[in-house]
Copies of this chain bind each other. A is one copy, B any other.
Amino acid sequence: MKAARPVGIKAVAAYVPAGRQDLSAELARYGVSLDFLREKTGCLTLARKLPEQDTSDLAVEALRALESGHAGVLRNAGLLIVVTQNGDNAGLPHASALVHGKLELGPDVAAFDISLGCSGWVYGLSIAKAFMEANGIEEGLLVTADPYSKIIDPHDRDTALLFGDAATATWLSANEPVWLPGVFAFGTDGSRAADLQVGEEGTLHMNGRGVLNFSATRVPACIRRTLELNAITMDEVDRVVLHQGSRYICKLIGERIGAAEKTPFLAEDTGNTVSSSIPLILARQACDDDRTIVVAGFGVGLSWAATVLRRVRK
């Protein structure tokens, strides 16, 4: 029953809602300058779903975007994972079941959600690949959909300027994948879980300084370890695709790993889209000429994960 061949990434698609909150028009409301948005958060507009769109709807849109470029990909999938911490119906049932129903998929599909925040896509990549290879599933779907607008207090400057809504769909396949993941590094510091949590009133609280300190130390160390585990140097890496926490944190991590010029920030128009931020960059074809990428996710938990993606075909 073991899949004969390794599972890798075949394609990535994304859904970014058309709606935008234009922060540059709300500077006085938040008591910030345009320079602060440009240099610190890096986000000038935040993608916003419609009020009537729920998490599973965003996931379905991302999967439809994937299907539109790759007919049959949904029907052939034997695995459907949704990474989210903000499912419909307070998370019961899991969003993957709702997506399964909305897309009228067949009964022989393994479906579950993974609850992780900004490290979720990297973790999910390993979970999906391992599960598919172990269970002989040749085609699978890894979806991210964690619309923080559901849990943001618009009066809370710590969070209201950062997060945007989006969803992505990653097609995983044992049949001629384009990118193969290497060895993964994972970590958790639950002693700092309170740095990013939902409070009793149902909105997100963030200790910005705590998250920044965590990101600036754990993530460079995790990336260095990932390079070691995969026996490569930063010279051999074409691009470092970080979770797009903020422009400032991406710049800082890029400098600390000696790869500032390879470490883009590409969330100016969307905001930090949580577990969708890394696959969103892949979906936007920002890495089309690259052969070796480091991906690193970090956030809620606190949690982090990284791996190397190697291109094995065009």
Contacts and interface: CB of A to CB of B under 8 A. Distances in A.
B89 A199 contact: yes
B198 A89 contact: yes
A93 B204 CA distance: 10
Task: State which size class the interface on A falls in.
Answer: 35 or more
Contacts of A115: 87, 91, 94-95, 112-115
A258 interface: no
Contacts of A89: 197-199
A65 B114 CA distance: 26
A196 interface: yes
Given A85-B91, A101-B192, A108-B187, A126 B134 contact: yes
A9 B305 CA distance: 26
Contacts of A80: 188
Contacts of A199: 89
Contacts of A191: 100-101, 104
Contact of A190 (B111, B130, B183, B184): B111
A28 to B, nearest CB: 30
Interface string A281-310: 000000000000000000011110100000
Given A193-B101, A202-B90, A126 B117 contact: no
A258 B113 CA distance: 33
A234 interface: no
A266 B58 CA distance: 41
A189 interface: yes
A153 interface: no
A153 to B, nearest CB: 14
Contact of A187 (B107, B130, B229): B107
6 contacts: A90-B198, A92-B204, A109-B188, A112-B123, A113-B116, A133-B134
A193 B87 CA distance: 13
